[in-house]
A and B are shown apart, each in its own frame.
Chain A
Amino acid sequence: MRKFLLPLRSREKGFLVALALAAVTLAIVPYVSSSYTINAMRDAMVLGLFALSYDLIWGKTSTLTLGHAVFFGTGAYTLAITTVQYGVAPWLGAVAGICSAALLAWVVGYFLLYAGVRSQFLAVISLAVLLIVRQIATSWRSVTGGDVGILGIPPLILGGIDLSGAVASYFAALTLLTVALLGCWIALRGTYGKVLAAIGMNEFRAKHCGFNTAFHLLTMFIVSASLAGLAGALYASMAGVVAPDLFSILLSTDVVLWVAIGGKGSLLGPVIASILLIRVQQEVSSYAADLWPLILGVVFLFFVLVLPKGLSGLIAWGSRKAGRRTVSVAK
C-alpha cells in the first residue's frame, strides 16, 4: 500500500487540484440548472466514465481498439436482462454487467493479445466483435428483445436509497466518476503506470526486460472493459431501456476522439473532453441528427493529420518551448 502513497510531485499535485476543481464545479451544476440539463450532464458523466475506461487501454498502453462500445453495451444489456427477466436487484445487475464485460474482454483479449495481434489488426478485429455482438443482440429476440430491446429496467436503488431521481442519480454518477478517476490515478501514478507506458511505447524492448507483456495488456484490457461495462450498466439503469444501437460504432469512434483531444493517458483530460464534447453533440444533434457524425469525422481527420498528440500534446509542446527559452536565458 505504501507504494501507492508516494510523495506528490508538482505535476501530480496539479492533477489533484484539477480533479477537485472539476468535481466541485460539477457538484454545483444541479443547483443552477434545469432538470433537462441535469439529466444531460448526468448522461455526459456516465459517458465520461466510459471515456476514462478507454483512456486506460488506449491512453495508457497505446492499444487501439475500435469497438470499445461493445463493453458498454454488454454491461447495459446484462443489467437489463438480469433485472428485468430475472428480477435481480439493480446493484447486483450492475456487478453482473461488469463481470460480463470483463469476461468478454478476457476471452477476446486472451486469443488476440497472446497471439501477438496488435495495432491495426487488433483495432479492426475489435470492430468486428462489436458488429457481431450487435447483430446477436438484434437477432436473439428471446433474450435481448431484438430490435426493440428491453424496456422497463427498474430504477437504481442502492441499499434502500432511491437513486433514480434527477439530482440523486446525478450525484451518484458524479461520485462514481470521481472515485474511479481517483482510483485509476492512485493505481497508475507509480511504477506500474510507467511500465504500461513502456510496453505501449516499445513492447519488444519491454519483453527483453522480463515483462510478460501480453499478460499486462490483457489485464488492462479487462479492467478497461469492466469500467466500460459499469458505465453501460449505469446508463441502462438511468435510461430505463436498452437497444442494439448501444453497440454503436459512433460511440466507439467518439471515445477515441475524446481521449485523443483530452490527452492520451492523462485520465482527467479525456473525461473533461468527453463531457464538453457530449454537451456540444447533444446541442448539435437537436438541430440536425446527421450533422454531428460528419463534424466528428472531419475533426477526427484534422486531429490525425495535424495534431496527433491531442490537446495535452499541444500543451506539452508549448511548455517544452517555454522551458528551452528559460534554460537559454539562465545560461
Chain B
Amino acid sequence: MSAIPVLEARELSIAFGGVQAVREVTLKVMRGELICIIGPNGAGKSSLLDLISGTVKASSGDVSVNGTPLRGGNPGAFARAGVIRKFQGTNIFQGLSVRDNLIVAAAGVASLRVAAGPSSEALLEMAGLADCADEKAEFLPHGRRQWLEIAMAMMCQPSLLLLDEPCAGMNVGDAPVLARLLRNLNGKIAVVIIEHDMKFVRSLRSRTLVMHQGAIVRDGDFATLETDREIREIYLGRRARERECCR
C-alpha cells in the first residue's frame, strides 16, 4: 500500500549569486513523519527549506505536495496545500495584537480546510501567550515571538510543518516543551525541522538528514549518525579549517 507522500521533492537545485546552494536534492516526507535536517553553516539547509516551502523557485527539479506538483515562488499555493513554514520570530504582523496574528493566520487557509481549525484561545494557551493576547505583537520579547510563530503555524492546519531553527533565542525551559509538542504531532502532522542544537535533535529521536555543500549526505536515525565518523569530520573539519584561517 503506497501512501502519497506529503511532500516529494525531486532533483531540486538552486544557486544564489554563483554559489550552488542546493544540489539535486531528492526527498520524500510521509504523513506524520518527523525529520531533522542538520549540517554545518552554509550547507544549504535554509535554502532547501526555501524551496520546499515555495518561497523560492528552484532552478531545476520539482516539488509535489500531497501528489500535486506545485510551482515554486508561490508560497501562498504551498500554504494552501498544507505546507506551513514557521519563521524565526521576526516575521509576525508587528502592528496587530497577538490574538489578531492568530486570527489572520487562520484566515489564510480557512476556506480550504475541511475541519474547523484550532481556536485561537486554545493555541494562545498552548503557546503561553494568553496573558498578552491583546498586546501588539511588536512588544513581545524574542522568545515569546517564537511561540507566537509556532501558534500561527498551527492555526494554518498544516499537513507539513517546516521549522527553521526553532530553538534559537528560546528560553532555556522551552526546548523540552517544544520537543514534547513535536512528539505529540508525530503521526498526525509531518514536521521537517532545521536545527543546530544537537541536544534538542537528540531528544527527538527522529529520522535525521545531514546536509553538506548543498546535498544530503546522510539519511538515517540520529543515534547512528552521531557515531558516524564522516559526519564528525564534516562538522569538525570545518571548524579545524576555520581555526587554520584565524592564525
Contacts A191-B107, A195-B104 known; A204 to B91 CB distance under 8 Å?
yes
Q: Taking each of B55, B75, B91, which has the highest tally of chain A beta carbons within 10 Å of its own beta carbon? A: B75
Contacts A191-B103, A208-B55, A209-B156 known; A198 to B87 CB distance under 8 Å?
no
Let me know if A213 is at the binding interface, CB within 8 A: yes
Main secondary structure on A side of the interface with B: helix
Let me know if B159 is at the binding interface, CB within 8 A: no
Let me know if A194 is at the binding interface, CB within 8 A: yes
Q: Is the CB of B96 within 8 A of A201?
A: yes
We find that the number of chain B residues with CB closer than 8 angstroms to chain A is: 27
Q: Is the CB of A205 within 8 A of B87?
A: yes
Contacts of A133 in B (CB 8 A): none
Contacts of A210 in B (CB 8 A): 76, 79-80, 108-109, 112, 156
Contacts of B100 in A (CB 8 A): 194, 198
Q: Taking each of B76, B92, B156, which has the highest tally of chain A beta carbons within 10 Å of its own beta carbon? A: B76
Q: Is the CB of B108 within 8 A of A201?
A: no
Q: Is the CB of A197 within 8 A of B79?
A: no
Let me know if B36 is at the binding interface, CB within 8 A: no
Q: Is the CB of B76 within 8 A of A198?
A: no
**CA–CA, A208 and B158, complex, Å:** 11
Q: Taking each of B79, B85, B156, which has the highest tally of chain A beta carbons within 10 Å of its own beta carbon? A: B79
**CA–CA, A254 and B236, complex, Å:** 62
0/1 interface trace, chain B 90-126, chain A, CB 8 Å (1 if under): 0111111000110111011100100000000000000
Contacts of B101 in A (CB 8 A): 198
Let me know if B193 is at the binding interface, CB within 8 A: no
Contacts A198-B96, A201-B93, A213-B76 known; A206 to B108 CB distance under 8 Å?
yes
Contacts A197-B95, A201-B93 known; A209 to B104 CB distance under 8 Å?
yes
**CA–CA, A212 and B54, complex, Å:** 13
**CA–CA, A194 and B102, complex, Å:** 11
Whole-angstrom distance between the Cβ of B79 and the nearest chain A Cβ: 4
Let me know if A118 is at the binding interface, CB within 8 A: no
Number of A-B residue pairs, CB cutoff 8 Å, is: 69
Q: Is the CB of A202 within 8 A of B91?
A: yes
Contacts A191-B103, A208-B53 known; A202 to B79 CB distance under 8 Å?
no
Let me know if A13 is at the binding interface, CB within 8 A: no
Residue in B94, B96, B105 whose beta carbon sits within 8 Å of that of A209 in the complex: B105
Contacts A194-B96, A202-B93 known; A208 to B112 CB distance under 8 Å?
no
**CA–CA, A210 and B95, complex, Å:** 19
Let me know if B151 is at the binding interface, CB within 8 A: no
- Which residue of B is nearest A191, CB measured? B107
Q: Is the CB of B109 within 8 A of A198?
A: no
Contacts of B87 in A (CB 8 A): 205, 208
Q: Is the CB of B94 within 8 A of A202?
A: yes
Q: Is the CB of A208 within 8 A of B84?
A: yes
Contacts A197-B96, A201-B96, A205-B91 known; A211 to B103 CB distance under 8 Å?
no
Let me know if B152 is at the binding interface, CB within 8 A: yes
Contacts of A205 in B (CB 8 A): 87, 91-93
Contacts of B107 in A (CB 8 A): 191-192, 194-195, 209, 211
Let me know if A207 is at the binding interface, CB within 8 A: yes
28 contacts across the A-B interface (CB closer than 8 A): A191-B103, A194-B100, A194-B104, A195-B107, A195-B108, A198-B93, A198-B104, A201-B95, A201-B96, A202-B91, A202-B92, A202-B94, A205-B87, A205-B93, A208-B53, A208-B76, A208-B84, A208-B87, A209-B107, A209-B108, A209-B109, A210-B80, A210-B108, A210-B109, A210-B112, A210-B156, A211-B108, A213-B76
Given pairs A191-B103, A202-B94, 14 additional interface contacts (CB within 8 A)? A194-B100, A198-B101, A201-B96, A202-B91, A205-B93, A207-B74, A207-B75, A208-B53, A208-B55, A209-B104, A210-B79, A210-B80, A210-B112, A213-B76
Binding site for A on B (CB under 8 A): 53, 55, 74-76, 79-80, 84-85, 87, 91-96, 100-101, 103-105, 107-109, 112, 152, 156
